[in-house]
């Protein structure tokens, strides 16, 4: 029994210590007149951007809201902009952001959360004093110790020194409780409390109207794409104009002088951006027009030369529109691929042309016989004839065409055409035979069967002619 009174005394002493530490709260920071936190994005070139509220990292971009003038008041003029992640000095930016978050947390939720932690630890220690089971007392104390170990890192290092002090006191009590539970005094699995002290970075003053606009102008030079630069420059120009958001604010010293100078710089930069856009659009229209013409001629070398033209023009224009250049190069790659495919198809066609010419000569007589039969087949299709005396010559002519087709040596690529011509001839022969039977019997359904066969024969023959023209013409023509 000697261990339990000692545990109670230790628990009571620790509760007093917890309450004493909790009572030593630092004073809260004075409330700022600015509604949002002002973060800073430090760039590798040494310049700094103000972010009204926290910034966000999205893929390879950093998105932030920058003020376009004075930030006093509930609704300051803001503009959303994204910059390349690689342009940011992340060590300085992250340190400053953590310092700002830590100060804001300390001024708002810090003390409330710390009091909740203190009350939680004090309750655990009171429980230790009343629990009779040694193992359970140790588990409760160890749980409180782990909560102390985790707290600073999750709460921006707020009062990390006080938390470390409480953890040290609790470690002594845990050592005694371990002995009471029949264990060694030291538990190597306990995590030591690290004093997660927030970065000691001084908070920069809120920018003046002039400083905010200067930084907005700097942001325009590192904006991720041209459309954002133009949009931001236009917003700066509007803010400086007589109807801008800054016009109703009290004038800063020498405002007319610096605002006039900044407006001139902004207008010049905006004109330069607009001219650059036009230069790149003109380049794209000229190059794509040439690429389309050369692709239609399968001029692979000509399109490859246009790739070099684009790269040279981009260098001359200062490589100021990488997204437009990339899109133009991608378009040229597409045209180059089309030209290469067309070149291959034409070269392949040249190797087959001799065989196709022989095939076309071989079927010419059969095709001519079928073509001479078309007027009679049209009459059968319309149920308008022909005369009975014309049906026998029609059947003879169509059978001669079919026999001629059967004797032709067909190249592989013309097999489908040969099949259509053969089927057209066979169907036409059947149409003539059905028409003859219909005339002999006076049977109208048989006449309709003949009309249907004639229509199918004409359709297959016309389609075969179209496919033959495509096959015997150079690709792309």
pLDDT per residue, tens digit, the chain (477 aa), is: 444 545 555 555 555 555 555 555 554 444 445 567 899 999 998 889 999 989 999 888 999 999 988 787 677 889 999 988 999 999 999 999 999 999 888 888 989 998 998 888 888 888 888 888 888 888 888 888 888 888 888 888 888 888 888 888 778 778 877 777 777 666 555 545 455 677 888 888 888 888 889 888 888 888 878 888 888 898 888 888 765 444 444 445 567 788 888 899 999 999 999 999 999 999 999 999 999 999 999 999 999 999 999 999 999 999 989 889 999 999 999 999 999 999 999 998 888 888 899 999 999 999 999 999 999 999 999 999 899 999 999 999 999 999 999 999 999 989 999 999 999 999 999 999 999 999 999 999 999 999 999 999 999 999 999 999 988 888 876
How do strand 61-67 and strand 38-42 relate by DSSP bridges?
A: unpaired
**Cα angle value 211/217/221 (rounded, 5°):** 140
Q: In what order do the strands lie in the sheet with 56-58?
A: 56-58, 61-67, 78-84
Burial class of residue 261 in the structure, from the number of CB atoms within 10 Å of its CB (0-12 exposed, 13-18 middle, 19+ buried): exposed
- Residue 56 host element (H or E): strand 56-58
3-class SS of residue 61: strand
Cis bond upstream, residue 386 (ω within 30): yes
Answer for the pair 89, 43: CB distance below 8 angstroms, yes or no. Answer: yes
In order of 1, 74, 122, the CA distances from 6 in angstroms are 9, 58, 17
């Amino acid at each position: 029994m000697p261990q339990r009174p000692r545990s109670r005394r230790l628990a009571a002493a620790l509760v007093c210590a917890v309450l004493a530490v909790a009572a030593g709260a630092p004073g809260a920071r004075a409330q700022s007149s600015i509604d949002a936190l002002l973060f800073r994005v430090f760039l590798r070139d040494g310049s700094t951007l103000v972010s009204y509220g926290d910034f966000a990292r999205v893929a390879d971009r950093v998105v932030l809201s920058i003020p376009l003038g004075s930030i006093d008041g509930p609704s300051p003029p803001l503009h959303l902009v994204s910059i390349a992640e690689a342009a940011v000095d992340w060590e300085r930016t992250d340190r400053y952001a953590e310092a700002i978050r830590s100060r804001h947390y300390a001024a708002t939720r810090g003390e409330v959360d710390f009091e909740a932690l203190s009350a939680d630890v004090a309750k655990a220690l009171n429980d230790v004093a009343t629990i009779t089971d040694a193992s359970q007392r140790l588990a409760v104390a160890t749980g409180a110790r782990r909560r102390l170990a985790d707290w600073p890192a999750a709460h921006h290092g707020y009062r990390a020194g006080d938390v470390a002090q409480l953890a040290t006191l609790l470690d002594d009590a845990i050592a005694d409780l371990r002995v009471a539970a029949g264990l060694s005094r030291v538990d190597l699995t306990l995590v030591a409390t690290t004093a997660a002290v927030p970065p000691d970075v001084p908070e920069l003053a809120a920018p003046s109207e002039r400083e905010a606009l200067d930084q907005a102008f700097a942001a325009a030079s590192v904006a991720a794409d041209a459309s954002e630069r133009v949009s931001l420059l236009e917003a700066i120009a509007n803010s400086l104009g007589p109807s801008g958001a800054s016009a109703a604010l009290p004038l800063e010293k020498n405002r007319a002088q610096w605002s006039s100078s900044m407006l001139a710089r902004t207008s010049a930069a905006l004109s330069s951006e607009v001219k650059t856009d036009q230069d790149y659009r003109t380049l794209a229209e000229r190059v794509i027009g040439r690429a389309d013409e050369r692709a239609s001629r399968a001029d692979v070398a000509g399109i490859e030369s246009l790739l070099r033209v684009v790269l040279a023009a981009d260098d001359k224009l200062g490589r100021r529109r990488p997204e437009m250049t990339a899109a133009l190069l991608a378009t040229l790659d597409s045209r180059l691929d089309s030209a290469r495919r067309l070149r291959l198809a034409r070269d392949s066609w040249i190797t087959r042309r001799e065989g196709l010419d022989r095939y076309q000569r071989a079927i010419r007589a059969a095709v001519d016989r079928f073509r001479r039969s078309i007027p009679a087949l049209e009459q059968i299709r319309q149920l308008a004839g022909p005369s009975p005396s014309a049906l026998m010559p029609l059947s003879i002519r169509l059978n001669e065409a079919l026999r001629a087709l059967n004797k032709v040596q067909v190249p592989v690529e013309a097999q489908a055409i040969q099949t259509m011509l053969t089927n057209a001839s066979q169907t036409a022969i059947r149409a003539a035979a059905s028409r003859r039977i219909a005339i002999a019997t006076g049977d109208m359904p048989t006449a309709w069967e003949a009309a249907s066969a004639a229509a199918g024969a004409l359709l297959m023959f016309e389609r075969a002619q179209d496919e033959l023209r495509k096959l015997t013409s150079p690709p792309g023509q």
